A and B are shown apart, each in its own frame.
Chain A
Amino acid sequence: MWGSNAREAHPIFFHRVLKGIHNGARMFVVDPRRTSSAQWADVWLGIDVGSDIALANAVGREIIHQNLHNREFIERATDGFDDYAACVEAYTLERAEEITGVPAAAIRQLAHEYGAAETAQICWTLGITEHHNATDNVLALINLALLTGHVGRYGSGLVPVRGQNNVQGGGDMGALPNKLPGFQDVEDDESRAAFEAVWGAEIPSKAGKHISLMHEAMDEGSLRALYVIGENPLQSEANSTEMARRLENLDFMVVQDIFLTATGELADVVLPAAGWGESEGTFTSSERRVQRVRKAIDPPGDAQDDITLISELARALGHEWPTPTAQEAWDEMRQLSPLHGGMSYERLEESGGLQWPCPTEDHPGSLFLHGRLWDSPVSGRRAPFHAVEFVPPVDTLTDEFPIRLTTGRRLDSFNTGVQSGRYVAPRRIPGVVDLSPEDGAELGVSEGDRVKVISRRGSLEAPVRFDRSLRPGLAFMSVHFPDDTDVNVLTVDAWDPKSGTAEFKATAIRVEALTTS
């Protein structure tokens, strides 16, 4: 479990993890904080924020040096091992300890157990991906799976746990700047032609902008109008002072959401959308399983489901679009996406869910995405190693900003609180800054005292909470209460050029006492 506090952020998934643990599975947790997930771990490795690649590379080096790598798998199914081995050679356990702060013995133990395990999985979430080098972080973990063959087999695998029930579904359906439904490349003429034939319209031949590029385009003035569906970027994006300026400078903004979000309040037009119990359709879970969702009640007031809203918008813009049913839209999509081709509504109902790839109606769906790597000879492309180097976080620690602030989620709240903030939760921790008891003592503050938290981009005031899961020099804030403690005032909008994700997880701050106790 690497960079994931699934106990709180993915509690249902974590129940499955716990079942495994009760059946004897061993768990290592790599996380700067000793989270409630880490409390279940056999070993917790308290890494410095943003030093994941150094740790992963040291684990890889140790596996190779101990001859625990799967040579047969590497030779048959992968490319680039030699370059990888050469790259990780520099990451000795001692050097990794120096960079990550984790004792070498614990890193060695992780390497030995992961390398020697019959089956092993690496699960990760935003602790890996909300960094300026997010993609390299992911590649560093993938390297470990390729090194040991812990991929594409029952019980083994690489598990990026999705942050919402249907993030995967959004990607499946082409809600990505460079992909068409079924992850077909928008810049591939053949793929595009197939869609153009069915849709009867021309599709732009260049990939669109991901969110960080959109920010740049807004800054340049080349992006002047924004249609926001089910997002609250004013509060969820890093460096929110800048974000507010960007949105306010737009000529026109439409927000389509089930609640009037803070972003919605800035919008020129708000389209009230239907919630999950008010719409027909499908969800896709983290394990690529597509499941039917059924409408239970009509949406309240003027709210409409997304298909209706989009169809009506098209008609308002002068296009003669019908309003398809969810099933009609789905059938059109699966006709164009080979991954989903065999997933009729009937089959989804019958099976309770199917995992893509499922190209034909007689295909049972795929338990593993990368099972092909175990075919001999390997079918399709060999899986490449990527030699990646450790690069420290952008927002460096200095005497002026000596404390590392990281952000995350708590059990009873969801992201910016648009949905969860309206419900009472008995154990909810409000907007606070979590400090180690030692840092609190040094500041001379007690729990509940208000402090000023200052980064290079902004500052906020918040009450202090002491948290033993933090060591001195490490602070934590949740993202859930942007109205009173907007942590993204502090965060850095440096972003990963490959994924477009900003480095929410690593901010340099200082904390000043406001009241003395």
Chain B
Amino acid sequence: MDIRALIDRATDAERQSVDELLGPPGSAWGGGEFSGFDGRVAYGGHAARAQRHLLLPAFHAVQDAVGSISRGALGYISERLTVPPAEAYGVATFYALFNTDAPAGATIHACDDIVCSQFGAAALCDSLEEALGPSGHSSDTVGWVRSSCLGQCDRAPAALFHQPGQGYGNAAPVDAESVTRLSFEELPPGVIHQDHQELRLLRRIGRVEPTSLDAYRESGGYEALFRAVELGPDGVLSALDESGLRGRGGAAFPIGIKWRGVAEAQGPVKYVIANGDESEPGTFKDRLLMEGDPFAVVEAMTVAGYATGATKGHIYVRGEYPTAEKRLQRAIESATEAELLGGNVAGAGFVFDLEVQRGAGAYICGEETALFASIEGHRGEPRQKPPFPTQKGLFSRPTGINNIETLLAALEVLVGGPNVFAQIGTEQSTGPKLFCLSGAVEKPGVYEVPFGTTLGELLRLAGGVAGGRELGAVLLGGAAGIFVDSGSLDMPLTFEGTSAAGASLGSGAVIVFDGECDFGPVLKRIARFFRDESCGQCVPCRIGTVRQEEALARLADKKPLGTIADERERLDDLAKVMTDASICGLGQTASTAIQSAIRLQLRGVPA
């Protein structure tokens, strides 16, 4: 509807890439050639608009084939899906990975976020600028763009490559020379520094072949699903209640209550979703799990479907994780072949199908309702809650959405039993927890520890501050988290312990800065991150993140508006407004790290 004639026509290659995804057009009104029948009748309306969720996959298809989304391709996709071109354009430009500035050849996405910046990202970007010109999708051979965190912080600095006909690839660490050799080899998930016998969530990483279902089953895979079938859906929910398992995505909501909400919601269609849109700077644990133990994600989703009554699941993987996406796809195929997915899962008589959804570069899509919007084919704009997802989630149906780590922890509850699980950690924070250590630590990586481990113990586990230097600060929870300093080393890492200290575990990111760190640029990068990633829907966040960045820039330039105290007051005001009045967590946390750095008077923070 309202499809205005776009002058540019899609090329044959663009059409072909879209048709491979959507099938050939059904009529002239869906992008095909005009026939006599088309002059007499057209079918569209609700049926045509029900294809809307294919918008992002169609963009990916075109861009993977030809490198960018031209106006002609956008018009063709709009016609095929009956989405107004202006709206389709609004969606395409929302996502950082989509390139609408055709023409484009290969693109290098170079991370210049807070962790990579500690490892020479600035120099790397300078060298790219010298070699390829300024950042932007502008070249028909090789171009480059600056990127937010790519989730490779344990081997910074990192880059992501895209090449037409090839898709995406990661490289880390990179240097000025290697970054221009576009590599599409799959990297190993990451180094595990702990003894695997002490590990639960990480026990298969790097030890069990992630592409083999047999290897997964030999290592205890699918025990949890069979246990779940023995217990029955209600039994699973009770076990989760007893285990005390709370969500690892940041909100710490009890999983038993969430799943029960979906199970008890009325309606013919329900969904479960694995939130693999891990985009919080400094966070990479879910990548490790998805790349290194993809069958566990599939199994956990199957359990979720069984317990909640959902027959359809989606795994939303951030676009910057091509290896995770491929391995999950492969795992789903293998599980489907083995009838561990499909019309009669494991011979237990229930239906469950699973699909992988590729994100396209939008931090906000980690927010659950924004993630729904993204799967539905819209800009990733969060919705007001209530209604909560368990009542009205994906496609307005009851939906259970969980972080990847939470799902894998649920498997542990079933395999080891809820009591064993509940004995790990503290009373209110049960089970094992993953932390992503990066920055100035000796051995960066993902660490699995029981809840209640102190920050100091965690740092010691990672070999302490790199080079034996003094600790400057730790950014706990990523850009949306808070800075703590050496005064907090005894803080127990639990939901209750961090919250008592005015902090939050957030995503499990633990970014370490040494005593020589200048925090001025770090804060500016955090401010830029939020300004860039604000979806723009609600005013406090859209305006607030811009004003916050401007105030920090003025302070850094020593050109405050009024006095420094005035600027501080302004920053405080902005923080209050964003925290109180933003629709979602992005705006609500866009100032917390900055505020905490100012409070702690970290080195180089304008005072």
Contact = CB atoms under 8 A, between A and B. Distances in A.
Contact of A42 (B2, B29, B37, B45): B45
Interface in B5-46: 28-29, 34, 36-46
Contact of A471 (B1, B39, B44, B47): B39
B46 to A, nearest CB: 6
A34 interface: yes
Contacts of A45: 40-41
A475 to B, nearest CB: 13
Given A34-B29, A36-B1, A36-B2, A42 B41 contact: no
A204 interface: no
Nearest to B3: A39
Contact of B44 (A44, A101, A472): A44
Contacts of B37: 103
B40 A101 contact: yes
Given A34-B29, A36-B2, A27 B45 contact: yes
A162 interface: no
Contact of A46 (B1, B34, B41, B44): B41
Interface string B173-211: 000000000000000000000000000000000000000
Contact of B42 (A21, A27, A38, A437): A38
A102 B28 contact: no
Given A34-B29, A36-B2, A41 B34 contact: no
A38 B42 CA distance: 9
B46 A46 contact: no
Contacts of A43: 41-45
A471 B36 CA distance: 8
Given A26-B45, A468-B28, A39 B39 contact: no
B294 to A, nearest CB: 38
A41 B45 contact: yes
Contacts of B38: 471
Contacts of B45: 21, 26-27, 40-43
Contacts, number: 62
B39 A472 contact: yes
Given A34-B29, A468-B34, A471-B36, A44 B41 contact: yes
Interface string A209-239: 0000000000000000000000000000000
Contacts of A24: 46
A36 B44 CA distance: 13
Contact of B40 (A21, A26, A46, A470): A46
Interface string A433-450: 000111000000000000
A193 interface: no
**Of listed B3, B37, B40, residue having the most chain A CB within 10 A:** B40
B44 A42 contact: yes
Contacts of A474: 39
A383 interface: no
Interface in B37-69: 37-47
A378 interface: no
A103 B110 CA distance: 57
Contacts of A40: 1, 44-45
A437 B28 CA distance: 13
A39 B1 CA distance: 5
A309 interface: no
Nearest to B36: A471
B47 A42 contact: yes
Contacts of B36: 471
Interface residues of A, number: 27
Contacts of A470: 39
A106 interface: yes
A106 B1 contact: no
B46 A42 contact: yes
A46 B34 CA distance: 14
Given A34-B29, A36-B1, A46-B40, A26 B34 contact: no
Nearest to A107: B41
B46 A26 contact: yes
Contacts of B47: 42
A106 B41 contact: yes
A45 B41 CA distance: 5
A103 B83 CA distance: 27
A103 B43 CA distance: 12
Contacts of A34: 29, 42
Nearest to A40: B1
Nearest to B41: A106
A117 B2 CA distance: 27
A24 to B, nearest CB: 7
Given A36-B1, A39-B1, A471-B36, A102 B44 contact: no
Nearest to A41: B45
A387 to B, nearest CB: 27
Contacts of A101: 40
B147 to A, nearest CB: 37
A103 B27 CA distance: 15
A181 B43 CA distance: 45
Nearest to A27: B45
A41 B40 contact: no
B26 to A, nearest CB: 14
B111 to A, nearest CB: 40
Contact of B39 (A41, A42, A46): A46
Contacts of A44: 41-42, 44
A42 B40 contact: no
B27 to A, nearest CB: 11
A72 B302 CA distance: 52
Interface string A34-58: 1010111111111000000000000
A34 B3 CA distance: 12
Contacts of B82: 39
Interface in A463-513: 468, 470-472, 474
A44 B3 CA distance: 16
B41 A39 contact: no
A40 B1 CA distance: 5
Contacts of A41: 42, 44-45
B263 to A, nearest CB: 26
A45 B37 CA distance: 11
Nearest to B46: A42
A27 B1 CA distance: 13
Contacts of A36: 1-2
Contacts of B41: 43-46, 102-103, 106
Nearest to B28: A468
A21 B49 CA distance: 11
A38 B3 CA distance: 12
B25 to A, nearest CB: 14
A27 B46 CA distance: 9
Given A40-B45, A42-B47, A468-B28, A103 B40 contact: yes
Contacts of B34: 437-438, 468
Interface in A319-340: none
Nearest to A436: B39
Contacts of B29: 34, 39
Contacts of A42: 43-47
Nearest to A44: B42
Interface string B61-98: 00000000000000000000010000000000000000
Nearest to A46: B40
B5 to A, nearest CB: 8
A471 B40 contact: yes
Given A40-B1, A46-B39, 4 more contacts: A43-B42, A43-B43, A44-B41, A474-B39
28 contacts: A21-B46, A26-B46, A27-B45, A36-B1, A38-B42, A39-B1, A39-B3, A40-B44, A41-B45, A42-B43, A42-B44, A42-B45, A42-B46, A43-B41, A43-B43, A43-B45, A44-B42, A44-B44, A46-B41, A46-B42, A101-B40, A437-B34, A468-B28, A470-B39, A471-B36, A471-B38, A472-B39, A474-B39
Q: Which 5 A-B pairs have the closest CB atoms?
A: A471-B39, A42-B45, A44-B42, A39-B1, A46-B40
Interface of A: 21, 24, 26-27, 34, 36, 38-46, 101-103, 106, 436-438, 468, 470-472, 474
